[in-house]
Amino acid sequence: MDNNDFLTGWGLSLMVFLPLAGALVMMLIPKAEEQLIKVVALGTTLASAAVGVAVMADFDYDNAGELQFVVDHKWIEVIHSTYLVGIDGLSLPLVALTLLVTPLVIIYSWNHFPEPKNPKAFLILMLVLHTGMLGSFVAQDLILFFVFFELVLLPMYFMIGVWGGEDRQYASIKFFLYTLFGSALMIVSFVAVFFVAGGESFSMAALADGVAERNVAGDLALSTQVLIFGGMFMGFGIKVPMFPFHTWLPDAHTQAPTQGSVILAAVLLKLGTYGFIRVALFILPEAAVEWAPIIGGLAVVGIIYGALGCLAQTDMKRLIAFSSVAHMGFVMLGIATLTDFGLNAAVFGMVAHGLITGMLFFVAGSVKERFHTLEIKRLGGLLLQAPRMGWILGFCVMASLGLPGLAGFWGEFPAILSAYNPAPGLSEELFRTYMVIAAIGTVLAAGYLLWLYQRSSFGTPTEEFADEHIHDVHLSEYLAWVPMLVLILVLGIFPNLIFQVTDPFMTAMGDTFQALGQ
Under the rule (CB under 8 A), what is the footprint of other proteins? 79, 143, 146-147, 150-151, 153-154, 157-158, 161-162, 169, 172-173, 176-177, 180-181, 184-185, 187-188, 191-192, 195-196, 199, 224
Minimum CB separation of residue 31 from other proteins in Å reads 9
Nearer to other proteins, 185 or 301 (CB): 185
Rounded to an integer, what is the distance from CA 322 to the centroid of its chain? 15
Q: What is the DSSP string of 166-210?
A: TTHHHHHHHHHHHHHHHHHHHHHHHHHHHHHTTSS--BHHHHHHH
For the chain, the residue count is: 518
Q: Is 421 helix (H, G, I), strand (E, B) or coil?
A: coil
Nearer to other proteins, 176 or 431 (CB): 176
Q: What is the DSSP string of 443-501?
A: HHHHHHHHHHHHHHHSS---GGGTTS------HHHHHHHHHHHHHHHHHHH-THHHHHH
CA distances from 107 to 18, 110, 123, 488, 514 (A): 18, 5, 11, 19, 46
Minimum CB separation of residue 517 from other proteins in Å reads 27
Residue 434: HSE in the Cβ half-sphere, 13 Å Cα cutoff: 34
Nearer to other proteins, 196 or 396 (CB): 196
Cα 343 to Cα 63: distance, rounded to the nearest angstrom: 18
Residue among 327, 214, 324, 328 nearest 276 (CA): 328
Cα 335 to Cα 18: distance, rounded to the nearest angstrom: 32
Minimum CB separation of residue 166 from other proteins in Å reads 14
Contact 72, 204 (CB under 8 A): no
Minimum CB separation of residue 490 from other proteins in Å reads 37
Contact 164, 256 (CB under 8 A): yes
Minimum CB separation of residue 187 from other proteins in Å reads 6
- Which amino acid type is present at position 407? A
Nearer to other proteins, 168 or 278 (CB): 168
Nearer to other proteins, 160 or 488 (CB): 160
Asked if omega into 424 is within 30° of 0 (cis), the reply is no
Q: Is 16 helix (H, G, I), strand (E, B) or coil?
A: helix
Nearer to other proteins, 144 or 303 (CB): 144
Minimum CB separation of residue 6 from other proteins in Å reads 27
Cα 133 to Cα 92: distance, rounded to the nearest angstrom: 13
Nearer to other proteins, 199 or 244 (CB): 199
Minimum CB separation of residue 138 from other proteins in Å reads 16
Minimum CB separation of residue 27 from other proteins in Å reads 10
Minimum CB separation of residue 4 from other proteins in Å reads 30
Nearer to other proteins, 155 or 354 (CB): 155
> Burial, 8: exposed, middle or buried (Cβ in 10 Å; 0-12, 13-18, 19+)?
middle
Minimum CB separation of residue 132 from other proteins in Å reads 10
Asked if omega into 495 is within 30° of 0 (cis), the reply is no
Nearer to other proteins, 175 or 505 (CB): 175
> Phi and psi for 87 in degrees, rounded to 5?
-135, 140
Nearer to other proteins, 168 or 370 (CB): 168
Nearer to other proteins, 13 or 224 (CB): 224
- 3-state DSSP percent of the chain in helix, strand and coil, to 5: 75, 5, 20
Please calculate the CA angle 112-40-109 and round it to the nearest 5 degrees: 10
Minimum CB separation of residue 68 from other proteins in Å reads 26
